Structure 1
Amino acid sequence: MSAYIFRRILSTIPVVLFVMVFVFSLLYLAPGDPAAILAGDQATQEDIEAIRSQLGLDRSFPVRFAEWAGGVLRGDFGNSIFTREPVTEMILQRVEPTVSLMIVTLTIALIIAIPMGVAAAWKRGSLIDRVIMLFAVLGFSVPVFVVGYVLAWALALKLGWLPVQGYKPIAEGVLPWLRSLILPATTLSGVYIALIARITRATMLEILQQDYIRTARAKGAAGHTILYVHALRNALVPIVTVVGLGIALMISGAVVIETVFALPGLGRLTVESILRRDYPVIQAIILIFSFVYVIINLLIDLSYTLIDPRIRY
């Protein structure tokens, strides 16, 4: 068990290093001269050279990368080009809305998607199965921003049940915090629900054809026992896998959702930084998102050993 965990942790190190090199290279891969782009059309050559010196573009790539990587390891991502604020402080100010959005989204998705997938597999070919699969197709087909505008119009503007935009910190109370997140989290969870429901249904259909399921039925086991004790437990590995992969959908979807619902999170900061070409902020956000994704997938891999003990050996 310890050897397996050590190998999985060790395998993430090259991935993290590659991500760091790629993220730092964004400044050099940008079309044209980044310093000239940042300086603007009216800038003089002296202005451009000053910006090049500030960004470290007048030094070699290995030297600049070593300095940047050392700062990252200390939690120092440099300063914003436009606001001059430390990038670390800017990110810390925006972390709570994004983390809250992802937690609520994941909770909604798991509560709805897994029972949907199980029900569709149990009632294969029935009206319930067709309705659930229709919802899954719509979840993949309709863009999240369209769903967001429709829900905002129906639940916020017409019915007045929820706020249209904005975010309430959890320090102001759990209920106001939750009310500000229900609408964006429900919107973002649509694709995630569709993905998990489809995978759950496909995996459950395969598991329900196994011999031990037929044996449990022959012994007179109740339907819910067959579904949730015998079948779902053995279907968890692919379901957990797609949950981990779906984190990428939430990260990319958060950029759109936070813009639509005016949430002051990392997704909105990403859009603002890209529009301003604030490279230090862009680099930091992409690196953090990538690192979080790597860690989540590592945790998913380690969870396999709890779900299926055979993987430990």
Structure 2
Amino acid sequence: MITFILRRLMAAVPVLAVVTILVFSLLYFAPGDPATIIGGDLATPEEIARIRSVLGLDQPFLVRLAIFLGQLLTGDLGTSIFSNLPVTHLIAQRIEPTLALATVTILFSIAVAIPLGTLSAWKAEALIDRLVMVVSVLGFSIPVFVLGYGLIWLFAIKLQWLPVQGYTPLSQGVGPWLANLVLPMLSLSTVYIALIARITRASLLEVLAQDYVRTAKAKGLGDRKVLGHALGNAAVPIATIVGIGIALLIGGVVVTETVFAIPGLGRLLVDAILRRDYPIIQGVILLFAAAYVLINLMIDISYAVFDPRIRY
């Protein structure tokens, strides 16, 4: 078990290294001259030269990469071009809303999707199974921002049950904090629920067709115990799709925070892209990429828990 975990940890190191180099290269791969774009049409050659010096564009690529990696090892992600504040400081200011939205969405999606997928597989070809599949298709078909605006119109404007936009810190109370997260959570979790429910159904149907399940039923084992054993054996594909869903969640956070005006990392990234603030763009994307790699590492390690054969 320990050897398996160490192998997975070692495999994650080169992935993080490649991601870091690619994120840093965004500044150089971007079309046009970043200094000219940031300076604007009215910028003088002296101002453009100063911006190039600040961005390090007047230095060779490898030299600038070595400086960036050295700063990264000390926890320094650079300084914002426009606000002149450290990127780590800006990320620390915005990370709570993003973590809150992502955590609530993940927990809600898993709590809803796995029971739906299990019920759909247990009642295959029945009316409830067809309803779950229809809901899943709709979840995949409706874009997050369209569903978000629809929820705002219905629950915030028409019924006035929930706030339209913004974020309330958890320190100000659980009620206001959760009220601001309900609508973005619902709009963001729709695709996630549809994805997990369909994979849970497919994986569980395959397990329920095994001989040992039919033997357990023939011996009179109760439905709950049969489902419990079958769901445990179907956990590896479900855990895999949860990890894949994290990628959808990271991308969806950017759109959802923009629609609901949540001051999180997604909103910070969008504002930085519009202003060509490359240090912020690099820092946020690097953080998202590292989080995605680490979460998938945790999913890989969970395989050994669900299926003891993987340990060997």
Name the TM tier (shorter chain).
over 0.9
Residue of structure 2 in register with 1:138 after alignment: 138
Residue of structure 2 in register with 1:290 after alignment: 289
Q: TM-score, normalised by structure 1?
A: 0.98
User: What displacement does 1:246 show?
Assistant: 0.4
Please give the residue correspondences for 1:43-192 in structure 2 after superposition, counting only pairs within 5 Å: 43-192=43-192
Residue of structure 2 in register with 1:25 after alignment: 25
Residue of structure 2 in register with 1:308 after alignment: 307
**Could you report, residue by residue, the CA deviation over 1:205-257 in whole angstroms, capped at 9, with x for unpaired residues?**
10000011001101111112111x21101011000110011001110000110
| Alpha-carbon separation, structure 2, partners of 1:53 and 1:77 | 17
**Could you report, residue by residue, the CA deviation over 1:72-121 in whole angstroms, capped at 9, with x for unpaired residues?**
12111111111111111001000000000001001110111001101111
User: What displacement does 1:264 show?
Assistant: 0.3
User: What displacement does 1:2 show?
Assistant: 1.5
User: What displacement does 1:153 show?
Assistant: 1.3
**Could you report, residue by residue, the CA deviation over 1:10-68 in whole angstroms, capped at 9, with x for unpaired residues?**
00111111011100100100111111111111111111111111111111111111111
| Alpha-carbon separation, structure 1, partners of 2:21 and 2:252 | 25
**Could you report, residue by residue, the CA deviation over 1:110-154 in whole angstroms, capped at 9, with x for unpaired residues?**
111001101111111111011100000000011011111111111
The one-letter amino acid paired with 1:276 is R
| Alpha-carbon separation, structure 2, partners of 1:197 and 1:56 | 48
Tell me the number of residue pairs that the alignment of Structure 1 and Structure 2 aligns. Answer: 312
| 2:16 match: secondary structure | helix
> Please, which runs of 5 or more residues in structure 1 have no aligned partner?
none
| Alpha-carbon separation, structure 2, partners of 1:232 and 1:65 | 47
| 1:77 match: secondary structure | coil
| Alpha-carbon separation, structure 2, partners of 1:52 and 1:165 | 38
Residue of structure 1 in register with 2:242 after alignment: 243
| Alpha-carbon separation, structure 2, partners of 1:73 and 1:265 | 25
| 1:95 match: secondary structure | helix
The one-letter amino acid paired with 1:84 is N
Q: TM-score, normalised by structure 2?
A: 0.99
| Alpha-carbon separation, structure 1, partners of 2:221 and 2:150 | 44
- Asked if residue 271 in structure 1 is aligned to residue 270 in structure 2, the reply is yes
| 1:246 match: secondary structure | helix
User: What displacement does 1:201 show?
Assistant: 0.4
| Alpha-carbon separation, structure 1, partners of 2:37 and 2:156 | 41
| Alpha-carbon separation, structure 1, partners of 2:218 and 2:17 | 54
RMSD (CA atoms): 0.8
| Alpha-carbon separation, structure 2, partners of 1:33 and 1:152 | 40
| Alpha-carbon separation, structure 2, partners of 1:230 and 1:76 | 48
| 1:165 match: secondary structure | coil
| Alpha-carbon separation, structure 1, partners of 2:195 and 2:304 | 24
